[in-house]
Amino acid sequence: MTIATVPADEIPGAEGVFDTPGRQLLADLVSIPSPSGKEDKATAHLASFFEAQGREAWIDDAGNVRAPGDDSVLLTSHIDTVPGEIPARIEDGDPELAAEGPVLWGRGSVDATGPLAAMAVAAVDTGASFVGVVGEETDSRGARHLLEDREAPEAVINGEPSGWDAITLGYRGIVGGDYTVTTPAGHGARPDANAINHATAWWERVRAAVAAENEGKEAGGFDTITPRATGMEAGPTDDGTAVVASMATRFRVPPSETPDSVRVLVEDSLEAGEIEWGQSIPPQVSSPRGSVPAALRKGIRDAGGEPTHLHKTGTADANLYAAGWDVPVATYGPGDASLDHAPDERLPLAAFDRAVAVLTTACEQLRD
């Protein structure tokens, strides 16, 4: 398998910038569209990077890139991105990010191609185990397959943007459900509630129940439940005999709750219709005194930074690894997380370089 590199002159402003294997890999992957379900070209390129460095690598049945190595730590991040084209380009400096030097713009540069490429380089440099997983932005199918198909490593560093000098210790969980209600068709002048009325009333009851549960907590914070309606379809059936309303919903689950407790809260708001629950991911919180945060803190300090700890309101594959393997887990990677999924996603290359150094030190610490 050969590496089809991205010529520097095809990325505006990139002349002389991609001067290390890591920077070149980052540019290559950012330049290859890889939305969830369409990661094939990116996975092939990532596997070829490891092969070119003399490392065994293959693509498993889920589409993950597997590069086995020293299992004192597994470096893993996701290959997929959210949809949306941001043409790759280099700009010199970025006042908003307080960054000097080249800044790479492009979809995935932050979430999570930057962390992914940094981990790939660190894995090659240290011999650590590596997996690039697919589907994190949708159903985490790559991480779920990994849990079923692989023995637990001794520790996990999961790749997501935290900033090169910060460590993410916790994420909220998530649970999703599809609500459906059907009522007989009737004349619009009748006072009876139809399916659409029932669906909107149910959702308002859910929101009120969640607000009561969150009372006294910071709005939208790490310790709160967040309800989100992600889609709705409603109207008469094709034969005109009934009205149907369906709503797709997702709930972020704080550490004080479980997916099951949130399901109960939502189901208690039902008066008509039913909800079918999908897969869930539990919340995850790591101790700052654990071996993985300690190794990352040393790496950050050695690279000239002062480490900080974060708790994020989103959800990551780290939650699944912590629950499924019961090993030390922390999340780390270059990039400003406020740019996740944003139309101005971009990463200073100096931050990427420092992240590679941090991960290399952390792997060496965990191996000793």
Q: Is 9 a catalytic residue?
A: no
Please count the residues of the chain. 368
CA atoms within 13 A on the CB side of 288: 10
Catalytic pick among 28, 39, 94, 136:
136
CA dihedral (246, 261, 254, 282) positive or negative: negative
Query: d(Cα 93, Cα 96) in Å, to the nearest integer?
Result: 9
Residue whose token pair is 């129940």? 209
Catalytic pick among 39, 80, 257, 336:
80
In 10 A of CB 276, how many CB atoms? 10
145 labelled as ligand-binding? Answer: no
Encoding tokens for residue 351?
Answer: 């931050």
341 labelled as ligand-binding? Answer: yes
309 labelled as ligand-binding? Answer: no
Q: Are 271 and 183 in contact (CB under 8 A)?
A: no
In 10 A of CB 92, how many CB atoms? 11
Burial string for 131-148 (b: 16+ CB within 10 Å, else e) reads bbbbbbbebbbbbbbbee
Q: Is 80 a catalytic residue?
A: yes
Q: Are 185 and 243 in contact (CB under 8 A)?
A: yes
Pairing of strands 70-78, 156-159: parallel
Query: d(Cα 218, Cα 332) in Å, to the nearest integer?
Result: 25
239 labelled as ligand-binding? Answer: no
Question: Residue 174 — φ and ψ, nearest 5°?
Answer: -150, 145
DSSP structure string for 280-317: EE--EE--TTSHHHHHHHHHHHHTT---EEEEESS--H
Encoding tokens for residue 78?
Answer: 């996701």
137 labelled as ligand-binding? Answer: yes
Q: Please report, in range form, the residues annotated as the binding site for Zn(2+).
A: 78, 111, 137, 160, 341
The catalytic residues are 80, 136
The binding site consists of 78, 111, 137, 160, 341
